[in-house]
Chain A
Amino acid sequence: MRKEIVIGPIIMLVIWGILTLGGYINPLLLPNPIDVAKNLWGLLSTGVVFHDLGLTIYRTLAGYAFAALIGIPLGLFVGYARKVYYSFEFVIDFFRSMPSPVLVPVAMLFFGLGDASKIAIITFTCGLINLINSMYGVTQCKKVRVMVAKTMRAKPVQIFRHVVFPEALPRVFVGLRLTLSLALILAVVTEMFTGTTNGLGRRIYDAHDTYNIGEMYACIVLIGLLGYTLNKVFIGIENKIVHWNRS
């Protein structure tokens, strides 16, 4: 890691500190960084936030995993069966273009107010993104590599296992990276709007409603850190697995 990485955050904290401690901003809108840090420490040291944090992580990862398990195999399949894809192209593009929060009422009708409706929304939205990316992974396969296997009389299953699947993996991982961020976004948004009583999204909303602004910002920072950590861990895994495609 480069040393320079700390410069940006320090500048940000300094500006934040000057604006708030210098009295340029109403502390009801934005408390100073020390207040927020104290709040965050309070949430973590007393452990009150862990229940909500755990639920948000659970919903994010459950929806994310279902989206991967359903979207990737389907995408690889339609990558092979182009006719199937063309038949469903409109349907896929239609749902993919739809802002997913509009599905919240539908999911609540079908799956109620519990975890199921949140996980369903994440699965549906992220699943489509995985499907599209996995499909492109197959269709953008290098023809020469497939030809190498074919000239050596590889069976279709072997061509898939040794050539097409690894060839598609970098694109599959593009989908997995995009959906990881999106799954967290959707988890928090659905926690705010589906009448749940727990989760980080709910906690932020409640803190706002009760003018507990310090806690609200502490939760926002916490979600930011969670998203950042998930993304870093993911990129580490991605660079290990699709090492030939390191960005």
Chain B
Amino acid sequence: MTYIQAHNLSKHYKASYEGQEQTIEAVRNVSLSVEEGELVTLFGPNACGKTTLLKMIAGLEKPDGGGFVTIDGKKPEETRIGYIFQNYSDSLFPWKTAIDNVAFPLQLSGLTPKESRKNTIDFLGELGVEIPIDSFPYKLSGGQQQTIAILRTFNYHPEIFVFDEPFSSLDFQARLEMQERFLKIWDKNRKATVFVSHEIDEALYLCDRMIMLTKSPARLTKILKNYLPRPRRREMLNDPNFIDLRKEAIEIFMQEVPA
């Protein structure tokens, strides 16, 4: 069943460049849909307009006239949206401990700090994820920090998830670990999800479908389907079907994207 419906999204910005007012076209006529419980990745080159597209889907930016987004029939503004930002050190609250960061959405809902902490610890137990609960974020590694940011958003129990290149500032090893940790958490909370990535292996490995975008302004070129079963495991990367899929994706990328 279609859960997120994005129809004809375009976005122009006004920006001044060398003193001159210019209109920049970030996104052009993108329509896409995400099924209930489906993970769709948006793949495209750096600065192609992926984040703008994501913000429109999440209702943080208004699309130009004619475009609209519905989520389970509602407007994005009427939906609980779990937004995970790229820069974890800017998104976490350094004055709160790890557990209080994760408990933040519960505190907003009116629970006392004690109750929200207790519920959060129960939630972490259900997910089977351990974090250094009493540490402040700035004492932790990048991977641990982004884990906390992701858990905080899951603890909000949103109706959909949108991820804006959450692992792009991590080193290679941390990135692989985070992909596994993310899949483990997501598998227990499968909601319609849009996940932006500029890493083709990451975008393919995580997704049910990968939507390929051109360079700026972002237009839709091709949608690839990943039939690998869930839960995903690293060994599946050697599956002949996956290898073919990756080959196809790179071919499309070479043809379409630089154009």
A interface residues with partner B (beta carbon < 8 Å) = 142, 144-145, 147-149, 151-155, 158, 162-163, 166, 169, 242-245
Q: When the two chains form their complex, are residues A147 and B108 in contact, meaning their CB atoms are under 8 A apart?
A: no
B227 at the A interface (CB under 8 A): no
Q: When the two chains form their complex, are residues B85 and A147 in contact, meaning their CB atoms are under 8 A apart?
A: yes
Choose one: B80, B85, B93; the contact of A163 (CB below 8 Å).
B93
How far, in angstroms, from A148 to B89 measured CA to CA in the complex? 12
| A144 in contact with B90 given A151-B58, A151-B83 (CB within 8 Å) | yes
Q: Closest chain B residue to A155 by CB distance? A: B108
Q: Closest chain B residue to A241 by CB distance? A: B95
Q: When the two chains form their complex, are residues A244 and B104 in contact, meaning their CB atoms are under 8 A apart?
A: no
Choose one: A151, A155, A158, A242; the contact of B60 (CB below 8 Å).
A151
Q: When the two chains form their complex, are residues A148 and B85 in contact, meaning their CB atoms are under 8 A apart?
A: yes
B87 at the A interface (CB under 8 A): yes
B interface residues with partner A (beta carbon < 8 Å) = 58, 60, 80-83, 85, 87, 90-91, 93-95, 104-105, 107-108, 136, 138, 152, 156
Q: When the two chains form their complex, are residues B81 and A244 in contact, meaning their CB atoms are under 8 A apart?
A: no
- CB < 8 Å A-B pair total: 47
Choose one: B83, B91, B108, B136; the contact of A154 (CB below 8 Å).
B108
Taking the closest CB of chain B, its distance from the CB of A169, in whole angstroms, is: 8
- 18 A-B pairs within 8 Å (CB atoms) are namely A142-B90, A145-B93, A148-B85, A148-B91, A148-B152, A151-B58, A151-B60, A151-B82, A151-B83, A153-B80, A153-B108, A154-B108, A155-B108, A163-B93, A169-B95, A242-B95, A243-B136, A244-B94
CB contacts (< 8 Å) of B156 on chain A: these are 152
| A149 in contact with B108 given A144-B87, A144-B91, A166-B93 (CB within 8 Å) | yes
Taking the closest CB of chain A, its distance from the CB of B3, in whole angstroms, is: 18
